[in-house]
Amino acid sequence: MVPPAPVRRERLLGLLLLGIALVLLVSSPTWFAGDRGAVGIAQVFLALVVAGVGVWLYRRAQRAG
């Protein structure tokens, strides 16, 4: 059985945000290597926030589905 559209949409959005967070984390060492540590720290912080929202949305969709 296919879950309702809003639940499926939340799950997919959560996965998208987790993917974006992963890209941000993987690319952050570039800033540190270029002597732009402040930008690297900001990017890691943003990645953690985006990952947190992604996990929250994914878990919320799992409970609703």
Pick from 2, 15, 28: which is nearest to 60 by CA? 15
pLDDT digits (tens, 9 = 90+) for 28-50: 999 999 999 999 999 999 999 99
Q: Does residue 62 register a pLDDT over 70?
A: yes
Q: Does residue 56 register a pLDDT over 80?
A: yes
Three-class secondary structure of residue 34 per DSSP: coil
Beta-carbon contacts of residue 29 (< 8 Å; ≥ 6 apart): 40
Domain count of the chain? 1
CA–CA distance, 22 with 54 (Å, rounded to integer): 11
User: Which pLDDT belongs to residue 4?
Assistant: 80
Domain hosting 42: range is 5-64
